[in-house]
Amino acid sequence: MYRQKMAALVIGAALLAAACGDDTASTTTTVEQTSTPTATEAPAATETPTTSRMSAMYPNGLRDVRYCEVLLLTKVDDEFIAHVWGSQGQNECPQADWEALDAAAIATERGALLALLNGPRHWTLDSITANIKTTGDISTFGNIEMMELATVNLGPGVPDQSPYHAKPVVRDTVFTFNAGTEIYLLADTDGVQYVMQSYAQIVDPTMSIDRLATLGTSLKLPTGWTYTTTTLTEQLDVYDTKGIAMVLQDDFKNSYQRIDTPGA
């Protein structure tokens, strides 16, 4: 039972990391179990050392660039902590090296209660800017170099892991989709829209960017929700709201962020 609870906690962290994790800088995030976290308003997002390196690595943009993450679960007092490591800005997580990773061996080596391999994932956006200017520690998992992206405080409970359940994530980033880019949108019963930021090859290893236009026929959407595809005629910038981004995943663990009005 205790191990099942730990697994659930790490999976909950993975849901957040896949949607937040993609944050490109070392942060500490507290996941509130009963209320939305708060954050003070921050200055406009700027390029970090990591996003600058990513820009240099991918001059044509991040769209369909592959990455993966390792999450390590520890416990401090009565609270579970997930340490998120990712290949973003380091490499594209070679498949053979990824398949060679042993989660149990990693947990033992790192002194963690449990390890979770989260990925592979691919960006569906074009670029990222972030207000956070620090860089994380670098470490190697097997043959894959990764940076510590975030430390997520899960508290004593288990976050809601169900698909289509939006979760608050503390961050200050701007995700940019260029004019001419095809985007994939979820809309809830109130018409609130979420745009896909990354697709996953976790549930379905054959998932590809070419399948996303018709993905809606494979989703088990909540009643009244819709999935649509459109090609942008002008640039779309997706912001957090005063340091909080609302993120969710679908049945395939593809990640989406709510489209908020800047300054709202």
Residue-wise pLDDT for 42-51, tens only, equals: 333 334 445 5
Q: 176: domain range? A: 167-258
Higher pLDDT, 208 or 151: 208
How far is it, in rounded angstroms, from Cα 214 to Cα 141?
35
Q: What is the mean pLDDT of the chain?
A: 81
Q: Which of 34-38, 94-98, 104-108 has the lowest mean pLDDT?
A: 34-38
Q: What average pLDDT does this structure show over 2-11?
A: 46
Q: pTM for the complete prediction?
A: 0.79
Statement to judge: residues 148 and 190 lie in one domain:
no
Residue (of 17, 4, 172, 6) closest to 83 by Cα position: 17
Kindly tell me if the per-residue pLDDT of 12 is higher than 90.
Answer: no
- In a domain, residue 37? The reply is no
Q: How far is C-alpha 112 from the geometric centre of its chain's CA atoms?
A: 21
Higher pLDDT, 16 or 194: 194
Which H or E run contains 146? Answer: strand 144-155
What local confidence, expressed as pLDDT, does residue 59 receive?
A: 65
Statement to judge: residues 77 and 175 lie in one domain:
no
Residue 177: pLDDT band with limits 50, 70, 90: very high
Tokens, residue 1:
């039972």
Higher pLDDT, 40 or 61: 61
Statement to judge: residues 234 and 111 lie in one domain:
no
Statement to judge: residues 144 and 215 lie in one domain:
no
Statement to judge: residues 9 and 115 lie in one domain:
yes
- In a domain, residue 226? The reply is yes
Statement to judge: residues 146 and 181 lie in one domain:
no
